[in-house]
């Protein structure tokens, strides 16, 4: 099943666009959990207190191991309705590994495009994302990220690519990003 | 540190519309989802998109179990502040059923074993 997701800002401006392929599992628990749907319904119209929110990567517990890899432990609050690591957390880990790899290569920026192919569920952890730069051009760096469940014998969880672009005001040069222009 | 809030609660995701065929979720932007440059990290929108897409797909095939096979996310603006709205809709139902249950519930749906 192909699902299209459009993310808009407060002024209805387009922030992001996603295409998601979902597959039917042959067995296992229902998804998403009835509890999740109930929580979402109960929270309808609720405005969350964003001021109290910790930094996303810090909340997830993403640890930077070196310039090319990051890892995260699988806590219960990071599991989805079928009991495995939430796909959004895997994507966040990919984003973290890609941007750190780009930074190590001299490009300070953000992931503008993420393509994550989920190969197997991550159940054990820690889950490690290992990034490698495939190429660079003026539009940014193309990063390949391999996500592995280290606690499950290094089983491949996802293969991903990310395009990391420089922050506004940063000029990318052959030797890396220019000093911040903020 | 003990984390008691589920990911969707930490992100502040709310269910504005949860119907069959369309799901609209909200998520406040701002502190926590930004980097040091005050631009939104892709991880937050990715989690929002995956949640919206997953709920939408699950509603469409209920009561069959589903999982994300791939996610393509393109961020076109680094918005700051306000509330993001994720509108998800089923664009297509694809081929190759692989179990009697999935075949009966979702004609033509693709299928993976739970590993």
B60-106 pLDDT per residue, tens: 876 567 889 999 999 987 666 789 999 999 999 865 444 444 443 44
Q: Inter-chain contact B14–A48, Cβ cutoff 8 Å?
A: yes
In sequence order, the 6+-apart residues with CB closer than 8 A to the CB of B7 are: A77, A78, A86, A88, A89, B47
Instruction: Answer whether residue A138 shows pLDDT above 80.
Output: yes
What pLDDT sits at residue B98?
47
Measuring CA to CA, which residue among A28, A22, A23, A25 is closest to residue A3? A22
| Helix or strand (DSSP H, E) at B112 | strand B111-112
* pLDDT tier for residue A167 given thresholds of 50, 70 and 90: confident
Domains and their CATH numbers in chain A: 2-177 (3.10.129.10)
Instruction: Answer whether residue A112 shows pLDDT above 70.
Output: yes
Which residues from A are below 8 Å from B90, CB to CB? Answer: 1-3
pTM: 0.84
What pLDDT sits at residue B102?
41
Identify the three-state secondary structure at position B51: helix
What pLDDT sits at residue A82?
82
Which residues from B are below 8 Å from A113, CB to CB? Answer: 72-75
In the predicted model, what is the mean pLDDT of chain A?
84
Closest approach of chain B CAs to the CA of A174, in angstroms?
22
Q: Where are the domains of chain B?
A: 7-105
* pLDDT tens figures, B21-30: 889 999 998 8
State the residue for tokens 């929002």. B48
Which region among A7-21, A54-68, A86-100, B58-72 has the lowest average model confidence (pLDDT)? B58-72
Correct CATH for B7-105 of 2.60.40.10, 3.40.50.970, 3.10.129.10, 3.40.50.300: 3.10.129.10
Q: Inter-chain contact B92–A2, Cβ cutoff 8 Å?
A: yes
Tokens representing residue A138 in the block:
């003026």
State the residue for tokens 């495009």. A113
What pLDDT sits at residue B32?
82
Report ipTM (2 d.p.). 0.84
Q: Inter-chain contact B75–A4, Cβ cutoff 8 Å?
A: no
Q: Are B91 and A2 within 8 A, CB to CB? A: yes
| Residue A116 β-bridge partners | A160, B71
What pLDDT sits at residue A180?
42
| CB-closest option in A5, A36, A39 to B53 | A5
Closest approach of chain B CAs to the CA of A25, in angstroms?
5
Measuring CA to CA, which residue among A175, A142, A16 is closest to residue B33? A16
Report the distance separating Cα B58 and Cα B44, nearest Å: 21
Which residues from A are below 8 Å from B98, CB to CB? Answer: 24, 26
Interface test with B, best of A18, A37, A141 (most B CBs within 10 A): A18
Chain A interface includes B74 (CB < 8 A): yes
Closest approach of chain A CAs to the CA of B36, in angstroms?
10
């Amino acid at each position: 099943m192909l699902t299209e997701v459009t993310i808009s800002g407060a002024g209805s401006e387009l922030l992001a666009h996603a295409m998601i392929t979902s597959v039917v599992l042959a067995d296992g628990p229902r998804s998403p959990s009835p509890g999740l749907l109930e929580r979402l319904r109960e929270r309808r119209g609720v405005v969350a207190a964003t001021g109290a929110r910790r930094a996303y990567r810090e909340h997830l517990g993403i640890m930077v191991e070196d310039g090319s890899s990051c890892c995260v432990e699988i806590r219960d609050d990071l599991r989805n309705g079928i009991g495995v690591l939430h796909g959004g957390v895997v994507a966040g880990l990919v984003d973290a590994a890609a941007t750190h790899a780009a930074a190590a290569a001299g490009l300070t920026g953000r992931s503008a495009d993420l393509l994550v192919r989920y190969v197997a569920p991550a159940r054990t952890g820690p889950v490690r994302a290992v990034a490698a730069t495939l190429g660079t051009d003026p539009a940014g760096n193309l990063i390949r990220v391999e996500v592995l469940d280290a606690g499950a014998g290094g089983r491949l969880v996802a293969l991903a690519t990310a395009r990391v672009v420089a922050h506004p005001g940063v000029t990318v040069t052959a030797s890396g990003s220019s000093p911040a222009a903020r | 540190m003990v984390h008691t809030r589920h990911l969707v609660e930490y992100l502040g995701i709310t269910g504005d519309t949860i119907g069959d065929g369309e799901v609209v979720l909200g998520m406040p932007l701002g502190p926590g989802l930004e980097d040091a440059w005050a631009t939104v990290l892709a991880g937050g929108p990715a989690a929002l998109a995956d949640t919206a897409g997953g709920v939408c797909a699950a509603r469409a095939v209920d009561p069959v179990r589903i999982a994300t096979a791939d996610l393509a996310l393109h961020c076109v603006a680094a918005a700051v502040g306000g509330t993001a709205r994720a509108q998800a809709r089923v664009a297509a139902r694809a081929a190759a059923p692989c179990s009697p249950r999935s075949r009966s519930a979702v004609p033509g749906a693709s299928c993976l074993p739970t590993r």
